[in-house]
Structure 1
Amino acid sequence: MMFFPRPFPSSCVRWLSACGAALLVAACASPTSPVSAARPAAAAAAAPVKVKVFVAAMFEIGQNTGDRAGEFQHWYERYWKGAAPMAVPGALQPVYCNADGVCGAVLGMGKVNSSSSMQAILLNPQFDFSQAYYVISGVAGTPPARGTIGEVSWATWLVDYDLGHRWAPEENKPGEPTFMPRKGYEEYRRFKLNPDLVGWAMKLSSDTPLKDSDSARKYRLRYPDAAARRAPFVGTGTHMTGDTFFHGPGMSKQAQYIARLYGADDYVITEMEAAAITLVIKRTHGTDRVTSLRGAVNFDQGNPKESTLQHLDPAPGETAGGFAETVENIALVGTRVVDHIVANWPQWQAGVPKP
């Protein structure tokens, strides 16, 4: 039984019978009561962060600042140094936000890990993603015929490498593909990203001065391809998402076959998350505001003088180099776009302007 300190008007009695005592307290408390006095403060505390840009990284090596940088550290040091972490149940790491509406988090490596974190963050009531742009950011591999160590690439297409049937080459006619798409995955296996947004990304960042290293320069000379020997640059193309860390000229040829089979551009990047994260975003907010930004830290196959296994398991001192420079390059390129969107938010909040 509940006891009230004073008589209630007849209107409140009707509320009690219709809605229960809990609603009665909220509806009939006087303006000076503790319940109504606390309500504005509670509502203010519960107001979600209006996200303008969300930056998704896949891993960090150690701390978010002050040590060897992984995929998140340069972003963190630019936008969130000193920001309070916001825990999200179901996400791998907390989310950080600044006063300008730029938020970011480490989602985890691989399709399941990263997409489950993204789903938890998107559905968390602490955030309002209704007008958000996304930068899916990280390191990657590249085929030597298309890219080089230290380059940074904006995706035009995202293609899932895994949604299909595969079989051993010896069980096929020589030279024929050993991959067949599985029916029913047409809307899951490839995404064409907004060409206007890609155009803006290139317009804003294509002339970014990029870092390089002596070790990367020396390593590139092992490859005969003109693209592999290039200095780092900003480019575009298809990003191939696969939980399988495919490697070697045979697997690279198959990846290119899949990209062309799906009507995408030539693949220039191999990575493990973007298509899965984009599917999660698509189901809640669509893909018009999604970008994928990757920096190449390795070639997806060895040079003509080494086997695939030798390339996968190099001897000491035989690695590509250039990792530190590449993760810095990714942030140098990406922050140009993030900063422009935030600085010109009245022109961007309703959608991507025409380039």
Structure 2
Amino acid sequence: MPAPTRDDPGDVATPVEPDVVVLPAFAAGDVTAEADLPNEVEPWLDEYAFDRELAVPGANAPVRYTDDGVAITPTGMGKADAAATVTALLRAPGLDCSDAAFLTVGIAGASPEAGTLGSVFIADHVVDWDRKQRWDGTADDDPVETMRLLPYRPHDYAYGLDDDFVERAYEWASDVALCDTERAREHRERYSQDAARGAPTVAVGTTLCGDEFWHGAHHAEAARWLVDRYDAGEYATTEMEDFGTAAALDRFDRTESYLSVRGVVNFDRPPEGRTAREGIDEDLDAATVELGLENAFRVGSRIVDRLVE
């Protein structure tokens, strides 16, 4: 697509007023990897006419926007980058997001007890994985016996997103046709859980956000315990940005306008007979990333189109 027309916030007489702001984590150049992985912004640039862009001080990248109310910018990877970018958007002089919905659309890992490769989850809760207390145990210790919630926390590190908004988004997107691949079907067959072996679906579930890319059954049990302690149900997906996004929106009383849409690209633990190291080194590749990214875009774009209508 042609390069968008660039605007400086100081030169915009009337602020840009988007109806929806799409927040992928990364674009081309935001990450480095041995494999050439697809990026989360590209599908949107291929399908929407983002003819203009606005420089926003403090954001990870300029905000691109269309004439009919859709804006997009990658937040950067991790909670700190996401929080910094969203705060910059909410304070930008040339951008008025007071009536905008915010929509994370990106990729995630998933528990094989909740879903499968290519499934898409709309989050109803966002939980922070990192802020907890842990100590050394023995090799035989259950993981939940060596951790607890921070005893001096000022509040629980979990957000319940707006039930009506989540339900409405699910109703819009529940019949979206999801794609699948032979590579994903072969990988599912290694797992014994029914949810892991099924075809991709659209569902609602808790997302667990952390700055470390963990993998393995030991960590998964700790994750399950943590989410349960916050009364946030069973976690479905794992990712790295959404708690930072939700925390920034909460500072401006805007969490009721936030949705997280995540396409599954890997499981959070290996199948039986494989080590966690083998799983984390071998099971995330361009093919599974492309599948989860495509399905996340299909669901996310359906929601975006309904919002601007």
Fold similarity call, TM over 0.5? yes
Residue 74 of structure 1: aligned partner: 43
1:51 matches 2:18: yes
Residue 135 of structure 2: aligned partner: 167
The question of whether the paired residues in 2 share the 8 Å contact of 1:215 and 1:320 is answered with no
Query: Following TM superposition, by how much is the alpha carbon of 1:118 offset from its aligned partner in structure 2, in angstroms?
Result: 1.4
Match of 1:326 among 289, 292, 296: 292
Residue 350 of structure 1: aligned partner: none
Match of 1:227 among 188, 192, 195: 195
Identity %: 33
The question of whether the paired residues in 2 share the 8 Å contact of 1:157 and 1:264 is answered with yes
Structure 2 unaligned spans of 5+: 1-8, 31-35
Q: Identify if the C-alpha distance between structure 1 residues 340 and 164 changes in structure 2 by more than 3 Å, giving closer, same or farther.
A: same
> What CA distance in whole angstroms lies between the structure 1 residues aligned with 2:139 and 2:94?
53
Residue 257 of structure 2: aligned partner: 289
Match of 1:155 among 123, 135, 152: 123
Matches within 5 A, 1:4-23: none
What is the alpha-carbon root mean square deviation over aligned residues? 2.3
Query: Following TM superposition, by how much is the alpha carbon of 1:173 offset from its aligned partner in structure 2, in angstroms?
Result: 5.3
> What CA distance in whole angstroms lies between the structure 2 residues aligned with 1:186 and 1:78?
43
Q: Which moved more, 1:160-169 or 1:198-207?
A: 160-169
The question of whether the paired residues in 2 share the 8 Å contact of 1:194 and 1:288 is answered with yes
> What CA distance in whole angstroms lies between the structure 1 residues aligned with 2:19 and 2:251?
19
> What CA distance in whole angstroms lies between the structure 1 residues aligned with 2:218 and 2:128?
17
> What CA distance in whole angstroms lies between the structure 1 residues aligned with 2:150 and 2:187?
39
Report SS of the residue matched to 1:92: coil
Report SS of the residue matched to 1:279: helix
Query: Following TM superposition, by how much is the alpha carbon of 1:84 offset from its aligned partner in structure 2, in angstroms?
Result: 2.4
Report SS of the residue matched to 1:51: coil
Q: Identify if the C-alpha distance between structure 1 residues 284 and 234 changes in structure 2 by more than 3 Å, giving closer, same or farther.
A: same
Q: Which deviations, in whole Å up to 9, do the C-alpha atoms of 1:36-88 show, x marking residues without a partner? A: xxxxxx9994211112101000012359xxx974111112222244x222111
Question: Which letter maps to 2:290?
Answer: A
Runs of 4+ with >4 A deviation: 171-176
User: How many residues in Structure 1 have an aligned counterpart in Structure 2?
Assistant: 296
> What CA distance in whole angstroms lies between the structure 1 residues aligned with 2:253 and 2:13?
22
Residue 100 of structure 2: aligned partner: 132
> What CA distance in whole angstroms lies between the structure 2 residues aligned with 1:43 and 1:144?
49
Report SS of the residue matched to 1:113: helix
Structure 1 unaligned spans of 5+: 1-41, 344-355
| Greater Rg by CA | 1
Question: Which letter maps to 1:280?
Answer: A
Residue 167 of structure 2: aligned partner: 199
Residue 3 of structure 2: aligned partner: none
The question of whether the paired residues in 2 share the 8 Å contact of 1:150 and 1:296 is answered with yes
Query: Following TM superposition, by how much is the alpha carbon of 1:195 offset from its aligned partner in structure 2, in angstroms?
Result: 0.6
